[in-house]
Every structure is written in C-alpha cells, then in structure tokens.
Amino acid sequence: MVLRPLLPCVFACLLLPAVAIAGERWTIGLSTTGAPIEAVVVAGRAVSSPTVLLVGGLQSPDQSSDAVAREAAAFEQIPEQQREFRLIAIARANPDAQSLQFPPSGVAYREHVESHVLWRWLGTHAPDLVLVAGPDPGLVDALSQNLVIDIGRIPARRVDVSTRLLQSITGITVSSAHQEIDRRLARSPRALAEELARV
C-alpha cells in the first residue's frame, strides 16, 4: 500500500533521462521488409544554421551505426546556443542489408527501395554536407557527381568511425540543393503556377 502512491513518481523519474537525451525522431522511409529507416534530428543554434547529415549502416547495421548513434547523443549534450549546425543522424540507413545503388535505377520504391528512399529524401531535405561513416556503397561519389533528384549538388565525404565524426567540420557553406529548396519555398503562387505550366 505504501508503494502505490510512489509508483507514478518512479515511472516519471525513469522517463526523464530518455526525454533529456532524445532528439526529434523522424521516420524517413521503409525498407524492403517494411522496417522503418529512422533519423534523429538535433537542432542548431538558429533556424538558419546549416544542416549536416551523418549516415551510417549503409551496408548493414554495424559498428558505423553505433558510432553515428554515439555521435548524435554527444552532439545533443552540447548547449543549443553552441551548436554551429543542425544535425540529422541516420544510424541504420540499410536495416535489411540490401544492395544499394546511387543514384538509384529502376521503379522508385519498388526496385532498390532503400536506395530510392535515401536518395529522394536527401534531395527533398537538401543538407549542406553529408558525412558517411563506415563502408560506402557509392553514396559519396554519387553526391559529388550528380544533381540529387534534379534539385542540386550536396557536398559529401567519408569519415572514419574510429574518430570523433563531427570534430573536423568547419566552415560549412550552403549547398546548391539547399539554395534551390529555399528558392522553391520562396516562390509566389503565380511563380509556382508558371513553373508548373511549363512541365
């Protein structure tokens, strides 16, 4: 009887640490078997802060997945006013260990499902820099050589999972993909209609 009034307090205390270290979670798509591909988003110091995407587990969930998750948790512990960029971390980009191809070919979301999910999501969210942790099935090269879904280019590079993945980042510039998304969002209804009429 004495413990009954304490139970809600105990459960609330257990939940506090999880809430304190959990960034905003997005499901960016589903794998071939329907497993969610999730991202953790940690805000930068301002809405205008550049966006860095840190991705791991491109061949399968592995040590790069663990490294990305640890790095996101560490970044979140930095006071928000000291964060120079917004971080999006995808630790398990390929939960089913499918063969990836960038840019993807075939029918979207029917063939090379995970490749289409990642490629198209990258284009619509237009980060300013992509960091690939662990084995890379060609994402860095594809980003450097192609417009992503006809939006723009996104700088990318590989990072070593044995290092602090975000420490080497300095002087992030706005990607051409980000600039194009901003341009599209700023269109007037008339400008949007005129662009659609040309298609």
Whether 164 and 188 have beta carbons less than 8 Å apart is answered as no
Looking at residue 143, its pLDDT comes to: 93
Residue 186 lies in a domain: yes
Boundaries of domain holding 171: 22-197
Q: What is the pLDDT of residue 164?
A: 81
DSSP 3-state assignment of 149? coil
pLDDT score for 14: 42
- The residues facing 52 across adjacent strands are 87, 129
The answer to whether residue 8 sits within a structural domain is no
What per-residue confidence (pLDDT) applies to 128?
95
Query: 102 in a domain, yes or no?
Result: yes
Nearest-10 crossing angle of helices 113-125, 176-185: 70
| Domain assignment of residue 133, yes or no | yes
Backbone phi and psi for residue 122, each to the nearest 5 degrees, phi listed first = -60, -45
How far apart CA 43 and CA 49 sit, in angstroms, is 9
Distance CA 76, CA 42 (A): 6
Total domain count, the chain: 1
pLDDT at residue 9, as a whole number: 45
Residue 3 lies in a domain: no
Query: Residue 3: what pLDDT?
Result: 45
Residue 15 lies in a domain: no
List the strands of the sheet with 156-159, edge to edge: 24-30, 36-42, 86-90, 51-55, 129-133, 156-159
- Rounded CA separation 53/86 (Å): 9
Tens of pLDDT along the chain (199 residues) come to: 444 554 444 444 444 443 344 578 999 999 999 999 999 999 999 988 999 999 999 998 889 999 999 999 999 999 999 999 999 999 999 999 999 999 998 888 788 899 999 999 999 999 999 999 989 999 999 998 999 988 999 999 998 888 787 877 878 888 988 888 888 898 899 988 988 898 8
Contact between 130 and 53 under an 8 Å Cβ cutoff? The reply is: yes
pTM as predicted: 0.81
